[in-house]
Amino acid sequence: MTVSLPTSKETVTYGCSRVVGDVCVPVKVFCGHVRALAEDCDCLFIPSFMRTDKAYNCPKFIGLPDLVKATIRYARLS
């Protein structure tokens, strides 16, 4: 199992460079970490959670698998 390094300025900068400006910082950081992992992994598991308990998730978090496919060069998700 591979784990990404702690969030750094480079992680955030890469995430910011890959998604549009109105995307929240947690999603940008997520993209930065996925990039770091995608370079060293054969497979990434990125689930899409519609809701937890009685609350729905943010649409951007629901769409993380699709966002990663569209923005991360190394990611090959099926």
Helices 64-71 and 25-38, packing angle to 10 deg: 60
Q: Quickly count: other Cβ atoms within 10 Å of residue 15's Cβ.
A: 24
10-56 pLDDT per residue, tens? 989 988 888 887 888 998 999 889 888 887 787 888 888 888 788 88
Per-residue pLDDT averaged across 60-73, rounded? 84
User: Which helix (H) or strand (E) is 37 found in, with range?
Assistant: helix 25-38
Say what the pTM is.
0.78
Kindly list the domain boundaries of the chain, sorted by start residue: 9-71
